[in-house]
């Protein structure tokens, strides 16, 4: 099998060229690979990722934010699932790993086909990202295209989430919405009031733009969030039942947003709730 696909996310100097001084291209990059290469559908692959700075050397000043130095999001082209992983989910980052800005962790590729892979990190007060692609092989295969889904109510485990628009989404204007969460245990229904922070925020929303396969990330809205720097603590404001979001979508079109949050009874077992967002002109 070709390893070429694995290199699509890498533009910098190969990590094995340690005998020569690194020369960067002035931008940050993530050099990454999977083992096996390519990943197999239905199994876990090991991901090794190194964050490279503008000078071509591993970044020594990565900022810890939302509980991790490197956040990885993996989404199939058919947008049927959303994977969000970090090395810190499995093992602590050692001093040597931090010095070499190299992280090793695992992700499951459920189906064969193309995946978008997004790496989020922060350095010198800035959020940075690298986006790439990886193709898993085997069976079963992904669908050819995403299935549009305009539902505004979704049940995930014991929570029913209702999507409510407060300011409708229009390109380049700030949209506002909230999720209203109802505990749904059989016939019993009550408002969710036991949310706890997960990954340093009351809630996260990862959003993929269908047409251009771009990746965006925001958090439950709080006053002053537009001025926050990476690593700043986010306030705990929303135990439920409502989780508010503000976001300015850059272009019109269909996005899929996955909202993640956790409840006090299982603070590490996050909920992931997908909704489609159609942004108008
Ligand atoms: Cu993360």
What CATH fold (topology level) applies to the domain 153-279? Immunoglobulin-like (2.60.40)
The Cα 230–Cα 125 span in angstroms is: 6
Reported as type and span, the H/E element at residue 95 is: helix 95-99
Architecture label for domain 4-136? Sandwich (2.60)
For 138-183, the pLDDT digits (tens) are 999 999 899 999 999 999 999 999 999 999 999 999 999 999 999 9
Q: Return residues with CB closer than 5 A to ligand 1 (ion).
A: 71
Ligand 1 centroid–CA 198 distance in Å is: 10
The Cα 58–Cα 55 span in angstroms is: 9
Mean pLDDT by 10 residues, the chain (281 residues): 39 40 85 98 97 96 95 96 96 96 98 96 95 96 94 97 98 98 90 96 95 92 94 95 98 97 96 98 95
pTM of the model as a whole: 0.89
Ligand 1 centroid–CA 141 distance in Å is: 27
Torsion of CA 215, 220, 224, 226, to 10 degrees: 10
> Can you give the residue ranges of every domain in the chain?
4-136, 153-279
What integer pLDDT is reported at residue 6 of this predicted model?
39
Ligand 1 centroid–CA 131 distance in Å is: 15
Same fold, 4-136 and 153-279: yes
Q: Which structure tokens are listed for 70?
A: 């490197």
């Amino acid at each position: 099998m070709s390893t070429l696909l694995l290199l699509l996310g890498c533009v910098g100097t190969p990590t094995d060229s340690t005998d020569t001084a690194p020369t960067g291209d002035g931008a940050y990059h993530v050099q990454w690979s999977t083992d096996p290469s390519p990943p197999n559908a239905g199994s876990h692959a090991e991901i090794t990722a190194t964050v490279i700075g503008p000078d071509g050397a591993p970044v020594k000043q990565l900022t810890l934010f939302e509980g991790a130095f490197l956040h990885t999001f993996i989404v199939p082209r058919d947008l049927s699932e959303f994977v969000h992983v970090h090395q810190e989910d499995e093992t602590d980052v050692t001093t040597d790993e931090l010095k070499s800005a190299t992280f090793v962790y695992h992700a499951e590729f459920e189906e064969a086909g193309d995946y978008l892979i997004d790496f989020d990190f922060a350095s010198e007060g800035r959020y940075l990202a690298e986006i790439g692609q990886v193709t898993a092989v085997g069976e079963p295969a992904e669908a050819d295209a995403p299935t549009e889904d305009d539902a505004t109510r979704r049940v995930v485990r014991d929570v029913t989430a209702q999507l409510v628009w407060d300011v409708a989404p229009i390109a380049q204007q700030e949209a506002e919405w909230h999720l209203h969460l109802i505990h749904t245990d059989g016939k019993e229904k009550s408002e969710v009031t036991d949310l706890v922070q997960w990954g340093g925020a009351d809630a996260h929303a990862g959003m993929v733009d269908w047409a251009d396969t771009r990746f965006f990330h925001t958090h439950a809205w709080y006053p002053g969030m537009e001025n926050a720097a990476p690593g700043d603590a986010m306030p705990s404001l929303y135990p439920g039942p409502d989780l508010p979001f503000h976001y300015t979508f850059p272009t019109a079109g269909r996005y899929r947003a996955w909202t993640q949050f956790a409840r006090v009874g299982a603070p590490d077992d996050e909920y992931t709730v997908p909704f489609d967002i159609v942004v108008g002109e």
